[in-house]
Structure formats: C-alpha cells, structure tokens
Chains A and B, each alone.
Chain A
Amino acid sequence: MLHLAATAPPAAPGDPILNIAIFGVFVAITMIIVFRASRNNKTAADYYAAGRSFTGGQNGSAIAGDYLSAASFLGIVGAIAINGYDGFLYSIGFLVAWVVALLLVAELLRNTGKFTMADVLAFRLKQRPVRIAAAISTLVVCFFYLLAQMAGAGGLVALLLGINDRIGQSVVIAVVGALMILYVLVGGMKGTTWVQIIKAGLLIAGAGVMTIWVLAINGFNLSTLLDAAVEKSGNPAVLAPGLQYGLSDITRLDFLSLGLALVLGTAALPHVLMRFYTVPTAKEARKSVVWAIWLIGIFYLFTLVLGYGASALIGAERIAAAPGGPNSAAPLLAFELGGSVLLGIISAVAFATILAVVAGLTITAAASFSHDIYASVVKKGNPGPGMEVKVARRTVVVIGIVAIIGGIGANGQNVAFLVALAFAVAASANLPTIVYSLFWKKFTTQGALWSMYGGLASAIILISLSPVVSGGEKSMLQGVDFSIFPLSNPGIVSIPLAFFLGWLGSVLDRGTEDIAKQTEMEVRSLTGVGAEKSVAH
C-alpha cells in the first residue's frame, strides 16, 4: 500500500473511473427513491414540507446530511491534518450551535410556522415588509452557501477525478447542477430529504470505518495517535491551539468572531429551519434536533481522529502539496488505508455531500421565493390553485442555472469564506428577529426591519472591506486594497449591532403592534395549538 501510494502520480490517486462508477451507483439508487417518493407531490405542504410526514429520526438524519457539507468533512479533516488542534477547535462551534437550535428555536418555530422562516418572523408583525426582508435574507444566505458548494465541486473534481482543465471541471459542475435540479424538481422536499438521509448514512459510515481503522493502527489509544502525528510532523505544537488562529491578536479576535457566527448562525440558517416543518409535531422537531446532535457530534469526533490520522500516516507536507491542498487529506487517507476502493467510496460520498447540500439550499430558496414573495406579497395570500408549487418549481430551475453559472465562474477563486459569511449573515440578519419575536413582547415591525436589514448590510459591507476581498495575499481581488476592516469574519460587529438595532427600532417605534397576535403567537408557540398536521395520503 505504502509502495503504491509513493509511486502513484501526485494528481488524483486511485482510479477516476471507479470513483465515477461508485458515484453513479449512488445517483441511480437515490433517483429511484426520489421518483418513488415524488408520487404524492401535489400540494404546497407536500412539495415544501414532504407532507410533514417524516419521523424525528429520519429528519434528524436529514439535518445531519444537510449540515455536514463537503467543507465539514474534507475541510475539517484537512485543517486538523495541517494545523492540528485549531482544526478541532473550529469543528466544536458547529456542534455547540445546535444547543441554541434545540432550546430556543426548533419547537417554537414548528408550532408557529408553515413552510418558511418568514412565516415565523412575520407572524405577529406587519406581513409585507417583514416577509420581504426575511425572504431577501433567506435568498442571500442560500446564494452564498450554494456558490461555495458549487465552486467546491470544481476543486473536488480536480482532486478526485483527475480532471484539471477548466472545461472538464465546468462540465462536471454543470452535471452536478443538473442532477440537483432534477432531484428537487421531481422529488421536492421528500426527494431532497431522502438524498440527505442516504448521504448522511454513507458519510457517517464511511468516516466511521476510517476512524476505527486509524484507531486500530494506533492500538485504540488516542495518545499513541497523537504521538504518531507529532512524530511525523516533527512539531509538538500540532497538539496545542495556535497554529492557525493564534498567530496574532487579529487572528484570535477573528476566530472569536467566527465562533460567534457559528454558534448563533446555525439556528438561523433558513435551510436548517425549513427542515423542522417536515415532521408532524413540535415533539418530533425536538427529536430531530436530538438525532442531529448525536450524529453531528459523533461525526466531528471522527474528524478529530481522521485529521490526526492523516497527519500521522501521510504527513502535512504531502497533503499541502497535493492537488486540493488541505481538502485532499481525507481522500489521501482513504487511499492509504483502503486503496482505490475506499478512495472511490469516499470520493462518491464527497460528491453525494455536495449534491445533498445544494438540493436542500435550492428547495429552501425556491420555497422562500414562491411562498413569501410570490404567494404572500405579490398575490396577497391568494395564489391560484397549484400556482405556488408551479412557481416554486420554476424557481428551482432558475436557481439551479444561476448556481451552475456561479459555480463555474467562482471555480478556482478563493471563495471558502462564503460559508462562514453565510453563517454570519444568518446570525446577524435572522437570529435577533427570531429570538425577539419569540421571547420579547414589545418587539415591533420597525425593530425587525432595522435588525434584519442592518444585520444583513453590516455583515456584507464589513466583509467587502475586509482582507478576504482585497489587500491580502489570498484576497479574492488582487492588485487593489480597500480593506479597512481588519477581520475576515464580520460577526463580532454585525451580530451585536443587529440585536441593538432590533431593540432600538422597537423602543422608538410609535406604530402599535397587534397585541392579540402577540398573545396568539405566544400561546401557539408553547402549546402547538392548531399547528399544521401531517398530510395523510
């Protein structure tokens, strides 16, 4: 095995044909399931919320499948393999965040909404302006996240299929986008959910097998594994924090800002929130989060072992030099352990991951556009029969095409910051309004609008003025420098600002809100009176 790895060409170890074949099997199986699941996609509740008929366990697995993106798997394993402890530190925020979703958001949201995040935000405030703001923020978050995933697909192609020319990569991005459109168009939320469940199962099983393998090599002793990683890297500092986020006071503050966006943004990601409507009751929504927490937590424990395992068995230098850089750590480790077959499986899982995540984002964005903008604002709550789903389907095609073009355009650009930005926008534009409208009686429409637009605008303006866009070595734009904001993560400014604006806008609001709606929302949110039931077929 070692010999093979040493003589294999540096680009794309393993067998690209095998990688594609295994991915093809995944696509074929999920397609059959999606077509079977799509027979009952008639109403909006079927199309957007899968008839609210998934169990907590199924939905929790789908949440894990939606949340654990390629960035989580390849990115975190790579970050630990190269920077050691700081990669692990980064992963913790993604898990702790779920406490906020469990305790403050999931059940109350399930009890007061129907299809989208805007249902909850606009419940007791003035419909039109709040819905429009919530839909804009949903579309922005989904777009950033989608672009990051599609651009990531390009990098993955180079790494796993050995396709290095831009045209070949563009073709693969287009194929991924077209598959995604097909899944979402045909399968709606039901199909998307099944793709995510299957992908979560494959990802966690694949990572689990590799974890046990790595631990077995090290006598099932974490300390032995850490020693091996230190020995290979020749640097004991990989076991302590600091290699990535501890370089200066700026990087420390930057990480604090990122951590804030992660723990407060997760519970306000529109595509996560929408998943809570696919179960019949608030109690099942609670069970969903519990399942998701277990699966996501166990997965991040796996990435700790895999990261240090890659560091010990392959070495940070070889990983950094491979195509795809840090992202190649997990695939290289798979090849080192199980040869072409395991690499093929892991590659297929990585593609399945991108497919499942973009499908979830696309149906969320389409639902928000069709339900919030078209049906509620343009048609004032009275779209013609079947029109809402029709508009949603058309939106899926448009978003899919935009994602393909954006993904091809962003391929090769440094757009990794977009995922962190999506969390920062969610935490700034959405979370304050969600929390205020559920927990603060005196919250008003003006407070919601100031908070949402203020949070959205400040996060985007700060990131445009930061070194990720200009003025740094790895900036998106080279040759210009207008970076006056030193951090790469805007959350530490934009999140408190959005909370402050929500408060200020409310106390300065002279318009009176409907007290009866506030009363109704409070009673409904805690008891589930009249909450949407599952659709019987």
Chain B
Amino acid sequence: MGNDALNVEHSSGQTAAVFRETQESEQFRRLKRKHRSFVLPVTAACLLWYFAYVLLAGYAPDFMATPVFGSVNIGILLGLAQVATTFIVTMVYVSYANKHLDPDAAAIRDRLETKEGVR
C-alpha cells in the first residue's frame, strides 16, 4: 500500500479488476508504448552524449583545445552544445507529451474517475 489514504477506498477486488482491464486496454497500451518509446531511448541518448563529452575531455584534451572562433575552442563549444541539447530535449519532450501523451492519459483518467469511481 503505497498510499494509505488513497487505497482505503479501493482495496476491493472490483477496483483491482478496473485497473487490470485498463492496463489491458488498447488505449492504455498505446499510451505506455508511446511514453516508453520516447523517454527510454532519449534518456539513453542524452547520457551517452554526456559521457562521450566527458571521455573526450578526459582523454582527448588536445582535440578539445582546437580553436574554432578566435580563442573559443571545440571543448567550449561541446560544453555549450550539452547545454543546448538539454534545452532542446526539454522543449521537444514537452511538445511530444502535450500532443501524444496528455490526451490519452486524460481520457483514461476521466473515464476511471467519473465512470468507475476510482479515486
């Protein structure tokens, strides 16, 4: 029981059945697929990109010191690129979630809360 107060009302087998049916429903499976197929690979890609940067800084300092604009070198640019990709991933995720995740989540939530009385 993760949520004592929450769970008091629906420890009954009936509510458990509602959750099971929901989990097996096409809409929920689609929501779960769309969520995982975005967050898992994007998180992995961000972490790989970060550690590639850390490894370059550790083991290829001469490459990182290569000047590009004036004294601004590849190392500074790659560091700024890390900041930029973090901002970009944030914005892309927000628009993805608004468009592809929120509508299904809201529909399922409304159905369970109003029709099935799940709280």
Contact = CB atoms under 8 A, between A and B. Distances in A.
The yes or no verdict on A and B being binding partners is yes
Interface of A: 85-86, 88-89, 92-93, 95-96, 98-100, 102-104, 112-114, 119-120, 122-124, 127, 221-224, 226-227, 230, 237, 239-242, 245-246, 252, 255-256, 259, 263, 283, 286, 289-290, 293-294, 297, 300-301, 304, 376, 381, 439, 516-517, 519-523, 526-530, 532
B17 to A, nearest CB: 9
Interface residues of B, number: 62
Contacts of A526: 28, 31-32, 35, 105
A44 to B, nearest CB: 10
B81 to A, nearest CB: 10
Contact of A527 (B65, B80, B112): B112
Given A113-B2, A293-B87, A93 B50 contact: yes
A242 B63 CA distance: 12
A529 B59 CA distance: 49
Question: Which of A92, A122, A123 counts the most chain B CB atoms within 10 A?
Answer: A92
B16 to A, nearest CB: 4
A92 B70 contact: no
A413 B2 CA distance: 41
Contacts of B113: 529-530
Contacts of A259: 50-51, 54
B109 A89 contact: no
Contacts of A114: 3, 5-6
Given A241-B64, A527-B105, A255 B2 contact: no
A227 B70 contact: yes
Contact of B54 (A256, A300, A530): A256
A294 B86 CA distance: 9
A104 B28 contact: no
B83 A256 contact: no
A113 B108 CA distance: 19
Given A88-B79, A293-B90, A297-B83, A103 B53 contact: no
B2 A104 contact: no
A239 B87 contact: no
Contact of B16 (A104, A439, A520): A520
A112 B82 contact: no
Interface in B20-42: 20, 22-23, 28, 31-32, 35-36, 38-40, 42
Contacts of B57: 85-86, 89, 241-242, 245-246, 255
Nearest to A283: B102
A529 B58 contact: no
Nearest to B9: A530
B55 A286 contact: no
